[in-house]
Amino acid sequence: MLAPLDLKLLRDLGKMKGQAFAVALVMACGLAMMIMSRSLILSLETTRDAYYIQHRFADVFCNLKRAPNSLRARIAQIPGAAAVETRVSGTLTLDLPGLAEPADGAIHSLPEDRRQTLHLLYLRRGRLPEPGSTKEVVVGEAFANAHGFQPGDTIDATIYGARQRLKIVGIALSPEYVFEARAGEALPDNKRFGVFWMNERELASALDLDGAFNSVLVDVAPGADNAPVMAELDRILAPFGGLVAYGRRDHASSVQLDDELRILRGLSVAFPLIFLSIAAFMTSAVLSRVIRLQREQIAQLKALGYSSWQVGLHYVKFAIVIVAAGSLLGGFGGLFLANGVVELYHQFYKFPVLELLPDWGMFGVAFLVSGGAAFVGVIGSVRQAVRLPPAEAMRPEPPAEFKPSIIERLGLARFFSPSFRMALRNLERRPWQALFTALGLALAAGIPIVPGSFRDAISYLLSFEWDVAQRQDVSISFIEPASASALADLQNLPGVMRAEPFRSVPARLRHGHVSRRLAVTGLASDASMNRLLNDRALPVALPPDGLLLSAKLAEVLDVKPGDVIRVEIQEGRRPVREAVVQGVITDFVGMAAYMEINALRRLLREGGTISGAHLAVDSMRWPDFLARVKEAPRIASLSIKEAARQSFLKSTGDMLGTITTIYFTFAIIVSFGVVYNSSRIALSERSRDLATLRVIGFTHREVAAVLIGELALLTLLAIPAGLWIGTQLAGFIVMSASTETIRMPLILTTRSYVMAVIVVLASCAVSFALVSRRIHQLDLLGVLKARD
């Protein structure tokens, strides 16, 4: 048989299971979020690290125009270079039967005469091309799955102007394409962009690079520094039209993953901490109530000879049971959610295997943290209770000291009913308790604002990006910078109503110690299709000289308008220039720098070159346009705005939508839990008074009015505070989730606030109804037994 005190514990908990469950549930929500995000972090990090090591992801990358294969040996001798891989890389366009618009892709070579040492492929199905074979390719898995390709299928591709029919022999993944997207794009466009691998000799031939290479990968020895390796590589490749070497920090796929982890880390602490604090506060309130109610039982136990320690421990066990229940629920809930999110991640991140690795260590920490918080919340009441000499504890508490309330001191008492006056006096008697209850209610009102603002942020982002900023239908990029006549060619395509050119160069922007590698884009000053916007979504005019930077980029580089930064062009003759930052623009995906197109051309000392154009196409002639554009030889990629929007909605939009729903559910649970708890505690504290009122002759409704009046008063006061708290919370979380790759705007609409108020009022309505029922069960006779 269990010890009698433990039997008492279980039975007492059974009597208050509603409240205990409410607290455990709130705790579980916080823990679930924490476990979910930390497990995702662990899974992604561990999987990524293993993948990079096992499949030899390089440390240093460099693209160039053309260098002879014999140069490979010299590169291999760079001090610090543990392994070197040279290859041929290019782009291709595809004409797929199921797709109206053309697709494009990147293609890389696989060595035939030597063993591949870096960027080893993970073959999901099929095989690599036979050495010496032609027309055989391996396809990236994301693209293959989007189209249902199998080994043995054929596709028509145009490489460097030559159209060929290729046979797919294998489907694979590569560590350089964990994120299978076009360079510079934030989202995979798996239906329209794919990655390919082909035998080296054949690809070199197609790209007019026989016996040469145009891309270098270097694995830097452990312990060696990247910088000298990159510097030496630049020196060696400079005569061969080399762009500047860069490391993983500037590698698109790698950076994406890093930023995702950063966001997860931010979320894994902020939100759960708030929930756990609320749970600790609720535990404290519930247990204080229990201890007050059991004052006489405590005295009994001490009279029987139980030490203060033993009695205190008995009540601490109440907290322990609740914490244990909350931890179990939270742990399994978190794992369940994490599993679901991992499924979503499979869409984005291409790993050979991505399994959920539960963060058991964090589980233990979470248990300790919530246990600690609950313990701290409880220890005060416990200590107070056991410290009383038993005789005093057995005496009934002296009547509470009441004083006239503020409205009475102001002389306004006669305007208010006795119930209201009682409520007000009681609140004033225990101001700290009223404050804590109000705080809990405020949090209950504020928390639902956060998921609401997420949802509004997503809508705003969509509209901002794809309705207001980008008004083109199609963006076309050329394989190589083309002359102004290329623009005319585009304008002559069927259905094209307007074509606005852009010139884009890869560059490294530097200010002091900080630098970033990105594209500087030159736009026409009268550009109306791809517009630059400020934080109020109004167009910003391009200055005739100087740069406009993303606000985030300006923050990262620590510059403000008027500052001068260094622009290191990484193309052609690689000029280094200085330019003035003229202003900032607002965007939410990636970071960019813009100049007036002629200003950029002057910087590059070139004529009317363009890298591509934004087009407005007549929707009636869309099919004709697509048919012609598929055949155009110089086009590297074609990005259709509507398609990009759909892609976002289906992937990131989906994911954010799921997370928002989860948070909203949690917010509702917390809201209800806090309100219900506060109501039950208020009821039990006043039960003697309320029963006395019943005996005197107050009806059920009048008695309910007294109790609920107090709570309603507090709630009304708490709501404005809560809305303010929720706003701060949302701002804080948006800030901690803001990265260079993706940011969310802080959007607070009336709808969010109204939803939050509705949630808390609904919780109140339900809780008050439940509590009112209990008023019917007040023990009227118990009140009549006087104790002396």
Binding site for another protein (CB under 8 A): 1, 3-5, 7-8, 11-12, 15, 296-297, 299-308, 310, 389-392, 394, 398-399, 401, 787-788
Give the shortest CB-274-to-another protein separation in angstroms: 35
Give the shortest CB-307-to-another protein separation in angstroms: 4
Angle at 169 between CA 164 and CA 173, to 5 degrees: 105
Nearer CB in complex with another protein: 3/73 = 3
Nearer CB in complex with another protein: 305/697 = 305
Nearer CB in complex with another protein: 4/223 = 4
Give the shortest CB-398-to-another protein separation in angstroms: 5
Q: Are 247 and 59 in contact (CB under 8 A)?
A: yes
Give the shortest CB-297-to-another protein separation in angstroms: 6
DSSP string, 166-195: EEEEEEEE-GGGSB---TT-SS--TTTEEE
Of 455, 470, 461, nearest to 655 by C-alpha is 455
Distance CA 449, CA 727 (A): 7
Give the shortest CB-784-to-another protein separation in angstroms: 13
Residue type present at position 13: L
Q: How far is CA 383 from CA 54, 308, 375, 378, in A?
A: 57, 8, 12, 9
Torsion angles phi and psi, residue 631, rounded to 5 = -95, -10
Nearer CB in complex with another protein: 1/73 = 1
431-446 and 750-775 helices, crossing angle to 10°:
130
Nearer CB in complex with another protein: 223/389 = 389
Give the shortest CB-404-to-another protein separation in angstroms: 16
If you ran DSSP here, which 8-state letter would residue 538 be given?
-
Residue type present at position 724: W
Helix, strand, or coil here: 338?
A: helix
Give the shortest CB-448-to-another protein separation in angstroms: 37
Enclosing H/E stretch for 613: strand 610-617
Give the shortest CB-296-to-another protein separation in angstroms: 6
In the numeric block, the tokens 């510079």 are attached to 184
Nearer CB in complex with another protein: 536/787 = 787
700-736 and 252-293 helices, crossing angle to 10°:
150
Give the shortest CB-688-to-another protein separation in angstroms: 16
Give the shortest CB-781-to-another protein separation in angstroms: 13
Nearer CB in complex with another protein: 309/432 = 309
Start-to-end C-alpha separation, the chain: 37
Distance CA 73, CA 31 (A): 55
Nearer CB in complex with another protein: 9/603 = 9
Of 732, 691, 686, nearest to 709 by C-alpha is 686
Give the shortest CB-387-to-another protein separation in angstroms: 9
Give the shortest CB-306-to-another protein separation in angstroms: 7
Nearer CB in complex with another protein: 392/631 = 392
Which value, to the nearest 10 degrees, does the dihedral of the CA atoms of residues 685, 691, 692, 698 take?
A: 120
Give the shortest CB-315-to-another protein separation in angstroms: 13
Torsion angles phi and psi, residue 90, rounded to 5 = -160, -170
Long-range contacts of the stretch 103-106 (C-beta < 8 A, 24+): 103/191, 103/192, 103/193, 103/194, 104/182, 104/192, 104/193, 104/635, 104/636, 104/637, 104/638, 105/143, 105/157, 105/193, 105/194, 105/195, 105/196, 106/182, 106/183, 106/195, 106/196
Strands 496-511 and 81-87: unpaired
Give the shortest CB-394-to-another protein separation in angstroms: 7
Nearer CB in complex with another protein: 97/389 = 389
Nearer CB in complex with another protein: 97/398 = 398
Nearer CB in complex with another protein: 2/410 = 2
Nearer CB in complex with another protein: 558/779 = 779
Question: Other CB atoms closer than 10 Å to residue 599's CB: what's the count?
Answer: 18
Give the shortest CB-301-to-another protein separation in angstroms: 7
Nearer CB in complex with another protein: 13/638 = 13
Give the shortest CB-684-to-another protein separation in angstroms: 15
Helix, strand, or coil here: 525?
A: coil
Nearer CB in complex with another protein: 304/353 = 304
Q: Are 137 and 167 in contact (CB under 8 A)?
A: yes
547's tokens: 């740069």
Distance CA 486, CA 595 (A): 21
> C-alpha 284: how far from its chain's center?
32
Distance CA 64, CA 156 (A): 27
- The tally of CA atoms less than 13 A away on the side-chain side of residue 660 is 19
Nearer CB in complex with another protein: 533/783 = 783
In the numeric block, the tokens 């813009």 are attached to 594
